[in-house]
């Protein structure tokens, strides 16, 4: 039972600079957002928390808990459970805490996650879930004011969210055209009018024709290019099997179109804009992010200027901390389950 | 009728440094290759050639002519002719010049190009053609000594060349497995034993499953990763249509596998190794490269230390010269057709 600082890990880092992280695009008019450069260059101490009195102190310090899902509430393989996480949610709720769920996973709609939660042993309201499929639809509809067609490379979970926002869209599933190298065949493929955005997520039907169509629509500089996430590149699902995810798929479209997408997911800040829009009374100073990924979760917390906990049940270990000098958590805990104090 | 130097274009460039170009991987044991750093940092003058007496002087200075194809012998759209190019080939041959053809196009086998030449009005021997499909097969078989399976994302032209070299391969055409996001389905997909290389070219059937399989095979550090070309990213085939090519497709596999391929095509130097292997009497000092692309052709000539002509019938114009300070041709001519002196 001890608590110690991890400053030694950062002995080569004089300032916790956030330079190198993409600047925010969407938050110019949001009054609660107030980053001072002094704050951004502060030196932060990361504390490894192994003492339940320290956990109690943390719980007392925050009212809103933003929880990552894959690797934090269950395994990164989406199958295995993490013992004690439902109990920790229950415990925090009993203390009167607001718990919101924030995921970069673009497989599913927000409503899908409610069933997933039930299967894990807890429940939530749909508007407490902030998935990238939902956030992308919100961004297209309410921030970009898209009224025309959206060409989508993604999953049916994304389709559900676009439908909820009344957005016109197409592109889900296998591409309908026969593939060809011949210019005359390429020119005869199906192209729609008034395509105002290309939206990319995790697409199991990603195909040459889709890269061609996305790159062609993106030749129009007024056509928006939005991606759900970019830091999740590939997941090792077996010792010799690597499952590519959105971050790798977007690279072919980025190359062919010579354009970079606006990215909705963590560590980019749009998700926090969505949270503040739905829960405007949230006080960022009393909000804690809990997640397993330094490059997505902890960078996100750093970018939106809230405190954070790295949990060691997923993507990263203690020794990874030195590899991400721009992703510094306030605390490291072995698991989110530690938030349940006996 | 005048000739002038283009030094003004380079007034901001003190040395013609080749830094930034990838180092050569394959030529360590080739005795004719002898780059001195003094040479690499020489200052080169580019001359715009508009005077037939200057053309005669150039012709007299070189015995071997390496000709790019798309954009040099015919249009970059692969359809339109460039007037006078067959006559120029005929004229150079009458002067006793050796003419070799060097292309990054991975659509076709070398033998295919002989028919293309005929349709354009001239002929050639198959072993005078250096296509990336041929060079990739040569590299896998004779330099990497691959004896096992090659997983190929490419065209049937590549298949033909691999067959000629007796290489075992698979992967052409649409992927046979039903696409899925589910880990259990991904793990049940077809994977072969003893895959010693992943070879990527232009693949009209490029698909999520192929990225998954390529990235999985590439988890074995002994599995080679080879690509036919990387500078050809996408081709504008209509005002609002962008055809992606190999350089964009490889980016998804590069991201998912966290590996970079060895690239066979120009501006990388392997093609010149192939030329020297087949035509060992070639004198690099009396060899001229003629091509339309600064980033592929002229950089290639610079990399292998031979002289070069930029022709203005394809990818680049005069004003592009300033954008590629590491790709400096010796001469600029309006067309390869100018090599036919009346």
For residue B43, the tally of other CB atoms under 10 A from its CB is 11
**Residue contact B251–A254, C-beta within 8 A:** yes
Hey, which residues does A200 pair with through a beta bridge?
A153, A227
A340 to chain B, closest Cα gap in Å: 31
Say whether residue B205 is in contact with chain A using an 8 A CB cutoff: yes
Q: Quick one: which H or E segment has residue A94?
A: helix A85-94
Cβ-nearest to A186 among B179, B187, B243: B243
The superfamily in CATH containing domain B3-104+268-339 is: HAD superfamily/HAD-like (3.40.50.1000)
Question: Is the distance from CB of B114 to CB of B122 less than 8 angstroms?
Answer: no
Residues of A in contact with B243 (CB under 8 A): 183, 186, 212
Question: Is the distance from CB of B133 to CB of B158 less than 8 angstroms?
Answer: yes
Q: Is residue B296's pLDDT more than 90?
A: yes
Segments making up each domain of chain A, as ranges: 3-104+267-339, 145-263
Residues of A in contact with B216 (CB under 8 A): 240-242
CATH 3.40.50.1000 given to domain A145-263? yes
Distance CA B340, CA B337 (A): 6
Tell me what pLDDT residue A275 has: 93
**Residue contact A243–B183, C-beta within 8 A:** yes
Query: Binding-site residues of A for Mg(2+), please?
Result: 68, 70, 292
**Residue contact B206–A202, C-beta within 8 A:** no
ipTM of this complex: 0.85
Distance CA A49, CA A271 (A): 27
Question: Is the distance from CB of B230 to CB of B219 less than 8 angstroms?
Answer: no
Interface list for B 156-195 with A (CB within 8 A): 174, 179-181, 183, 186-187, 191
**Residue contact A241–B219, C-beta within 8 A:** yes
List residues of A with catalytic annotation. 68, 70
Interface list for A 309-338 with B (CB within 8 A): none
Distance CA A278, CA A21 (A): 25
The superfamily in CATH containing domain A3-104+267-339 is: HAD superfamily/HAD-like (3.40.50.1000)
β pairing state of B195-200 and B149-153: parallel
Distance CA A81, CA A87 (A): 12
The pLDDT tens digits of the residues spanning B212-232 come to 999 999 999 999 999 999 999
The pLDDT tens digits of the residues spanning A265-277 come to 999 999 999 899 8
Tell me the mean pLDDT in the region B236-240.
94
Identical topology for domains B3-104+268-339 and B134-263: yes
How many C-alpha atoms does A247 have within 13 Å on its Cβ side?
20
Distance CA B29, CA A67 (A): 57
Task: Report long-range pairs for A274-282 (Cβ below 8 Å, ≥24 apart).
Answer: A274/A130, A274/A134, A274/A135, A274/A138, A275/A66, A275/A100, A275/A102, A275/A130, A276/A30, A276/A32, A278/A127, A279/A64, A279/A98, A279/A100, A282/A64, A282/A98
Q: Is residue B157's pLDDT more than 50?
A: yes
Hey, which residues does A311 pair with through a beta bridge?
A333
Give the confidence band of B277 by pLDDT, cuts at 50, 70, 90: confident
The vertex-A260 CA angle with A254 and A262, nearest 5°, equals 130
Quick one: A51 exposed, middle or buried, by C-beta within 10 A (0-12, 13-18, 19+)?
A: middle
Query: Binding-site residues of A for substrate, please?
Result: 266
Of the candidate CATH numbers 3.40.50.300, 3.40.50.880, 3.40.109.10, 3.40.50.1000, the domain formed by B134-263 belongs to 3.40.50.1000
The pLDDT tens digits of the residues spanning A191-236 come to 999 999 999 999 999 999 999 999 999 999 999 999 999 999 999 9
List % helix, strand, coil for chain B (3-state, nearest 5): 35, 20, 45
Phi-psi region of A96 (alpha: psi -120 to 50; beta: other; left: phi over 0): left
């Amino acid at each position: 039972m001890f608590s110690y600082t991890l400053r030694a890990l950062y002995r080569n880092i004089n300032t916790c600079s956030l330079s190198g992280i993409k600047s925010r695009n969407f938050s110019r008019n949001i009054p609660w957002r107030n980053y001072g450069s002094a704050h951004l260059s502060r030196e932060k101490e990361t504390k490894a928390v192994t003492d339940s009195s320290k956990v109690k102190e943390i719980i007392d310090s925050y009212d809103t808990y933003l929880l990552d899902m894959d690797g934090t509430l269950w395994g990164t393989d989406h199958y295995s459970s993490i013992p004690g996480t439902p109990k920790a949610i229950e415990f925090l709720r009993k203390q009167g805490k607001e718990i919101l769920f924030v995921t970069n996973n673009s497989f599913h709609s927000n409503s899908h996650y409610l069933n997933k939660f039930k299967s894990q042993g807890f429940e939530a309201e749909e508007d407490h879930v902030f998935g990238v499929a939902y956030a992308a639809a919100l961004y297209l509809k309410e921030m970009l004011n898209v009224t025309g067609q959206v060409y989508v490379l993604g999953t049916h979970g994304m389709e559900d969210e676009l439908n909820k926002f009344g957005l016109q869209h197409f592109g889900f599933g296998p591409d309908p055209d026969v593939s060809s190298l011949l210019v005359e065949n390429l020119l005869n493929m199906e192209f729609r009018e008034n395509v105002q955005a290309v939206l990319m997520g995790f697409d199991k039907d990603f195909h040459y024709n889709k890269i061609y169509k996305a790159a062609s629509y993106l030749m129009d500089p007024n056509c928006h290019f939005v991606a759900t996430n970019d830091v999740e590149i590939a997941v090792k699902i077996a010792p010799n099997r690597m499952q590519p995810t959105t971050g790798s798929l977007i690279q072919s479209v980025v190359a062919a179109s010579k354009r970079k997408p606006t990215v909705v997911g963590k560590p980019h800040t749009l998700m926090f804009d969505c949270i503040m829009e739905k829960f405007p009374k949230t006080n960022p100073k009393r909000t804690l992010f809990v997640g397993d990924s330094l490059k997505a979760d902890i960078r996100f917390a750093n970018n939106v200027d809230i405190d954070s906990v790295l949990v060691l049940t997923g993507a990263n270990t203690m020794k990874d901390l030195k590899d991400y000098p721009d992703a510094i958590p306030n605390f490291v805990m072995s698991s989110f389950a530690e938030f349940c104090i006996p």
